[in-house]
Amino acid sequence: MRLGRRDVLLGGSALLLGACTAPAKTEADLILHGGQVLTVDAKFAKASAVAVKGGRIVAVGGPELVESWTAPRIVDLAGRTLMPGFNDTHVHIYSLSPRAIEPDKVKSIAELQDVLRAKAAALGKGEWITGYGWDEALLSEKRNPLRADLDAAAPDNPVILTRAGAHSAVCNSKALELAKITRKTPDPEAGIIEKDASGEPNGIIRERFDIVERLVPEDTFETLRPSYVQALKNLLPFGITSFQSASTSIFDEPVDGEQVRDGSGLTYRRMRAIYDEMGADLPRAALYISYPGEARMKAFGKKSGDGDDRVRLGPIGENLTDGGFTGPTAWLLADYKGQPGFRGKGRYSDAELQEMVDKGHEYGWQMGLHAIGDAAIVQVVNAYVAALKKRPKEDHRWFLDHFTIMPPDETMKAMAENGIIIAQQPNFLYNLEGRYQALLDDWRLAHNNSVATPAKKHGIFTAFSSDNLPIDPRVGLYVATTRKGPSGTVHGAEEAVSREDAIRMYTANGAHLTWEEKEKGSLEVGKLADMCVVEQDPLKVADSELLTMNVDATFVGGQQVFAREGARG
């Protein structure tokens, strides 16, 4: 007679209860039971137990499953909910340089200044200070940090801090001086240098802050590698078991006649090396590849879908066809509210965009381009449709990243007719509510980051993601189902979807974007055992509790890769 191990998830601890195993029972590696199982199958069926063997689900059922299966590890869900792991179809994996601070961790400009002073003292005069993630809506002053704020804290160090969303940055005087930016400097193409009332740069640069950032000494990849790995692990506490990296490249692949650049960013080659070493402890990855040009695509020889179930190639993307509202420079079909004549900016001419789409298509790549404003969406859809008419392809699964401002019906009809998908970030409404209220007319405000109209009215396939604003599926589920921002105001209630639909769009639908819907995304026999345990029922909790319900455990391929400390039994 053999003893089975029964676990109650309590921060990774296990209670040995000494349950006897009947010889006739079928062997599995892991059994989870005693709670609600949301399968997210075609019928959104519910169960109470799941058995896993060899990294895949081998049985889904009720209490009888425990009577007919056995496993060395048996987890009592204790009334909690087991569901498919979240699939974030657009996330950026950022590193943390030794010269960087973490502006997303501060709660005021005064606190930001304290952190800057400490970093300046640690680095010494003249050293660059960088950082990512400030958000004026989360600062007690409720305004952007400006040049003068940074000067007061670090006058002798050049400073550039990127806003959350990466569509604008703030620089201090030292950084502007080194970049030779003065009141006479013209706006860079597709960017804006903000000015104060006297005409002097106020430190904010929209979109094209690369004109300053290019001066920051680049770290080596090996220096940054540990922080990249940690950023990958940081997805697991959110129940994210799969994601698409939206800022990856193949710039380090050899091309005849071109020198391979080292750089410090994530590439397909580098991600493969990380996952070959420790992939079992990380979420599954699909990689957007920034358009590399025809020569490098041809020499690379691979295309979307190549790879394995740990790391695979995704689309050409997210190459920005316009800006965003954290700039703001999203390209609209109408003027920004209160800014007559200003509609944002596009990044490509029609001909330039068409060439990129055509070449990506020619070499077998899926397309997943950034398009936030309705004008940008119209341009990208036109380019996609033209390419597909010239070179028809079934089941191409091309998509638009963001789809923030709903375009005219004609464009959505073209999307539906040509199988063009949306990778949507409903959480933007939460994070950017103030920006949208300040910049958008009433109609565009009500239909920003729309889900119901494109998905339900036009039948456009939609998957969810975060784009780091924030990386938290709970926010996406909350906003997609309530259409509420932090203020509690409902913006366009008609764009809300049901909780079942929202969960499907954040799990199973993401797998569709990478042609993996038969492998993952739902808890069905034969699929990968990528799952998370949440402490409450996401179908029944109060709206506000969607934002606070905890993920108690995360499993990738049946292996537990996260356990929340103090999780109840």
Q: Which CATH number does the domain 3-85+528-563 belong to among 3.30.70.270, 1.10.8.60, 2.60.120.260, 2.30.40.10?
A: 2.30.40.10
pLDDT score, position 258: 75
CB atoms within 10 A of CB 16: 10
pLDDT given for residue 190 in this prediction: 84
Q: Tokens 């601890």, residue?
A: 13
- Has domain 222-513 been given CATH number 3.20.20.140? yes
Give 521's strand partners: none
Please list the alpha-helical segments (H only) found in 43-187: 64-68, 109-123, 147-153, 173-178
- Give the three-class secondary structure for 409: helix
Residue 385 has pLDDT above 80, yes or no: yes
The per-type count for the chain, helices as H runs and strands as E runs, is: 18, 26
pLDDT at 43 over 90: yes
Give the model's pLDDT for residue 12: 39
How many other CB atoms are found less than 10 A from the CB of residue 166? 21
Taking each helix axis from N to C terminus, what angle separates 268-278 and 221-233, rounded to the nearest 10 degrees? 60
- pLDDT tens sequence across 107-159: 999 999 999 999 999 999 999 999 999 999 899 999 999 999 999 999 999 99
Question: Could you read off the pLDDT of 72-96 as tens digits, one per residue?
Answer: 999 999 999 999 999 999 999 999 9
What is the pLDDT averaged over residues 468-485? 97
Predicted pLDDT at 23? 57
* Per-residue 3-state assignment (H helix, E strand, C coil) for 518-556: CCCCCCCCCCECCEEEECCCCCCCCHHHHHCCCEEEEEE
Q: Could you tell me which of 311, 296, 383, 375 has the C-alpha nearest to residue 342?
A: 375
Q: Over the stretch 154-170, which tens digit does the pLDDT of each residue have?
A: 999 999 999 988 889 99
In this prediction, residue 539 carries a pLDDT of 98
The amino acid at residue 231 is A
Fold adopted by 100-213: Diaminopimelate Epimerase; Chain A, domain 1 (3.10.310)
In whole angstroms, give the CA distance from residue 35 to residue 51: 13
Predicted confidence at residue 444, as pLDDT, reads 96
Query: Which pair of tokens denotes residue 378?
Result: 């119209």
If you average pLDDT over every residue of the chain, what do you get? 94
Judge residue 509's burial from the number of C-beta atoms within 10 Å of its C-beta, 0-12 exposed, 13-18 middle, 19 or more buried: buried
Determine the Cα–Cα distance for residues 105 and 63; give it in Å rounded to an integer.
Answer: 45
DSSP 421-483: EEEE-TTHHHHTHHHHHHHS-HHHHHTBT--HIIIIIS---EEE--TTTTS-HHHHHHHHHH-
Beta strands 56-61 and 46-53: pairing type? antiparallel
CATH 3.20.20.140 in the chain, residue ranges? 222-513
Residue 365's pLDDT is what? Answer: 98
Give the Cα separation of 363 and 331 in Å (integer).
29
pLDDT-based confidence at 568, cuts 50/70/90? Answer: low
Q: pLDDT class for 16, splitting at 50, 70, 90?
A: very low
CA distance 337 to 219: 41
In the chain, residues under CATH classification 3.10.310.70 are 100-213
User: If residue 90 lies in a helix (H) or strand (E), which one and from where to where?
Assistant: strand 86-91
Three-class SS of residue 314? strand
Over residues 454-467, mean pLDDT: 97
C-alpha distances in angstroms, 272 versus 152, 269, 285, 528?
A: 44, 5, 10, 20
Average pLDDT over residues 381-392: 98
Q: What is the mean pLDDT of residues 495-506?
A: 98
Strand, coil or helix: 492: coil
Q: Where in the chain is the domain with CATH 2.30.40.10?
A: 3-85+528-563
Structure tokens at 27: 């062997």
- What percentage of the chain exceeds 90 in pLDDT? 90
User: Comparing C-alpha atoms, which of 371, 293, 207 is closest to residue 383?
Assistant: 371
pLDDT digits (tens, 9 = 90+) for 299-343: 999 999 999 999 999 999 999 999 999 878 899 999 999 999 999
Average of pLDDT values for 408-434? 97
pLDDT band at 13 (very low <50, low <70, confident <90, very high): very low
